């Protein structure tokens, strides 16, 4: 009798476990059939394990992408100049923000050889490596839009914007900035072959405010010169252009003149020759040797004298290396600050 009860209990448990297994397998079979039906009825359906492509409205809102597909441009305009616009962009390979620069080639349409020379010059600029020079990553010509495009390192702020934001800056800070700008210029000017920036101004000198690192940018309009260091084309921002630039016969010392005007703007917060209401008036004053009115606002006599040496006549204008040795820049600068 006892054995019958044990057998009966064991048999009941066996039937129960078998029933549960049957229900479980039946449920799985029905679920699999349901998924197959969904796929058959709706080809766009995806199994939970599959990751669908991001919807169009969730993809990067690029206005255009470079031919390699690496760099994407947004519509946000970071700045613009006489022949160039700079947009916010993104490097999809490295995952970093970059700047997308566009030069409108119609400015050089009368002389196709200029475009050819521009391409060869930029190829060299891409090889420049210096702590105080903005990195140039990539460039190409867009035939359809007739533009030359440059992808460069992105910086948070240019010196003009930074100076307007921080209106109370010491002479010591300006000396630190000046040394870094001159180090960058010295690298360009002593490079083989020599590189002349030709469009140096406070809007294309960039600063990382966290560490005070200064870098020269906008090298797209720089020119390469031979052993004579002489160039013969007219480019630049009028307020910062040396007199000899207008004569289209100049050397790398035009960059020193522009640097002097940058230092003047750093101190006074005024763009040189802002009293002039036309390019013609700027040209007349510059070529006649008339100083900007903002020079009268420079209160520090040593700073004023230093600026005057930078914007003097070409034959009297010192080189970047000579200015770096000037007593004005060495006074009050610690050794560790020189290495910024």
Distance CA 142, CA 151 (A): 13
Residues 216/134, Cβ–Cβ less than 8 Å: yes
Are 168 and 194 members of one domain?
yes
Is there a single domain that holds both residue 193 and residue 329? yes
Same domain, residue pair 259 and 212? yes
Q: In which residue are the tokens 């519509």 written?
A: 75
Last residue of a domain, which of 110, 138, 153?
153
Nearest to 218 by CA among 16, 83, 59, 40: 83
Q: Tell whether 148 and 162 lie within a shared domain.
A: no
Catalytic residues: 218
Asked if 197 and 250 touch (Cβ cutoff 8 Å), the reply is: no
Residues 190, 266 within the same domain = yes
Q: Dihedral sign for Cα 198, 155, 68, 146, please.
A: negative
pLDDT at position 298 is: 97
Is 139 in the same domain as 161?
Answer: no
Do the domain assignments include residue 210?
A: yes
User: Could you give the C-alpha distances from 267 to 46, 293, 312, in angstroms and in order?
Assistant: 63, 13, 18
Nearest to 153 by CA among 200, 193, 213, 194: 213
List per-residue pLDDT tens for the chain, 340 residues long: 544 444 445 445 444 455 455 455 455 555 545 544 443 444 444 444 444 555 655 567 899 999 999 999 999 998 776 567 889 999 999 999 999 988 888 877 777 776 776 677 677 778 899 999 988 899 898 999 888 898 988 887 899 999 999 999 999 999 999 999 999 999 999 998 899 998 899 998 999 878 889 999 877 667 766 555 555 455 678 999 999 988 888 999 999 999 999 999 999 999 999 999 999 999 999 999 999 999 999 999 999 999 999 999 999 999 999 999 999 998 655 544 444 4
- Give dist(CA 120, CA 105) in Å, integer: 15
pLDDT tens readout for residues 62-106: 999 999 999 999 999 987 765 678 899 999 999 999 999 888 888
Q: Measuring CA to CA, which residue among 50, 51, 95 is closest to residue 70? A: 95
Q: Are residues 303 and 180 in the same domain?
A: yes
Q: Which residues span the domain enclosing 264?
A: 157-338
Q: What is the DSSP string of 28-39?
A: HHHHHHHHHHHH
Residue 4 within a domain: no
Cα gap 88→156, rounded to integer Å:
11
> Based on the domain organization, do 93 and 233 belong to the same domain?
no
Number of domains into which the chain is organized:
2
Residues 6+ apart with CB under 8 A from 111: none
Query: Domain with 327 in it: what CATH number?
Result: 1.10.510.10
Please indicate, yes or no, whether residues 139 and 277 belong to a single structural domain of this protein.
Answer: no
Q: Which residues does 126 contact at the CB level (< 8 Å), separation at least 6?
A: 136, 137, 138, 139
Kindly calculate the radius of gyration of the chain based on its CA atoms and give it in whole angstroms.
Answer: 33
Task: Please identify, among 90, 124, 153, the residue that sits at the C-terminal boundary of a domain.
Answer: 153
CA-nearest of 239, 238, 201 to 79 is 201
Looking at the fold, whether 208 and 318 belong to one and the same domain comes out as yes
Which is nearest to 321 in space by CA: 255, 266, 268? 255
pLDDT recorded at residue 158: 92
Residue-wise pLDDT for 208-234, tens only, equals 878 889 999 877 667 766 555 555 455
**pTM (predicted TM-score):** 0.72
Q: Hey, which residues does 194 pair with through a beta bridge? A: 225
Q: Are residues 87 and 194 in the same domain?
A: no
Task: Please identify, among 129, 153, 177, the residue that sits at the C-terminal boundary of a domain.
Answer: 153
At a CB cut-off of 8 Å and minimum separation 6, what does 295 contact? Answer: 264, 304, 307, 308
Question: Is 293 domain-assigned?
Answer: yes
Q: Which two tokens stand for residue 248?
A: 């289209």
Cα 232 to Cα 221, 237, 244, 258: the distances in Å are 13, 16, 10, 17
């Amino acid at each position: 009798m006892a054995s019958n009860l044990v057998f009966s209990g064991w048999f009941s448990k066996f039937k129960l476990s078998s029933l549960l297994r049957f229900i479980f397998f039946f449920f799985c079979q029905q679920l699999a059939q349901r998924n197959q039906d969904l796929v058959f009825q709706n080809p766009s359906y995806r199994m939970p394990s599959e990751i669908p492509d991001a919807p169009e409205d969730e993809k990067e809102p690029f206005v255009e992408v470079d031919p390699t597909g690496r760099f994407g441009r947004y519509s946000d305009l970071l700045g613009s100049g006489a022949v160039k616009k700079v947009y916010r962009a993104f490097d999809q390979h490295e995952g970093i923000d970059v700047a997308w620069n566009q030069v409108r080639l119609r400015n050089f349409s009368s002389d196709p050889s200029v475009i050819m020379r521009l391409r060869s010059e930029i190829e060299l600029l891409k090889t420049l490596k210096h702590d105080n020079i903005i990195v140039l990553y990539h460039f190409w010509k867009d035939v359809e839009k007739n533009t030359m495009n440059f992808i460069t390192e992105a910086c948070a702020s240019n010196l003009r914007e930074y100076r307007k934001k921080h209106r109370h800056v010491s002479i010591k800070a300006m000396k630190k900035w000046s040394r870094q700008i001159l180090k960058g210029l010295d690298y360009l000017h002593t490079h083989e072959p020599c590189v002349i920036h030709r469009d140096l101004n406070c809007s294309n000198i960039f600063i990382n405010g966290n560490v005070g690192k200064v870098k020269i940018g906008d090298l797209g309009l720089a020119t390469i010169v031979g052993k004579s260091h002489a160039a013969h084309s007219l480019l630049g921002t009028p307020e910062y252009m040396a007199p000899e630039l207008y004569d289209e016969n100049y050397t790398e010392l035009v960059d020193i003149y522009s640097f002097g005007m940058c230092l003047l703007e750093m101190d006074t917060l005024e763009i040189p020759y802002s009293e002039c209401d036309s390019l013609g008036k700027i040209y007349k004053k510059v070529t006649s040797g008339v100083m900007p009115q903002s020079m009268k606002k420079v209160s520090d006599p040593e700073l004023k004298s230093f600026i005057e040496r930078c914007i003097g006549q070409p034959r009297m204008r010192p080189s970047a290396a000579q200015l770096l040795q000037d007593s004005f820049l060495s006074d009050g600068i610690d050794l560790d600050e020189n290495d910024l």
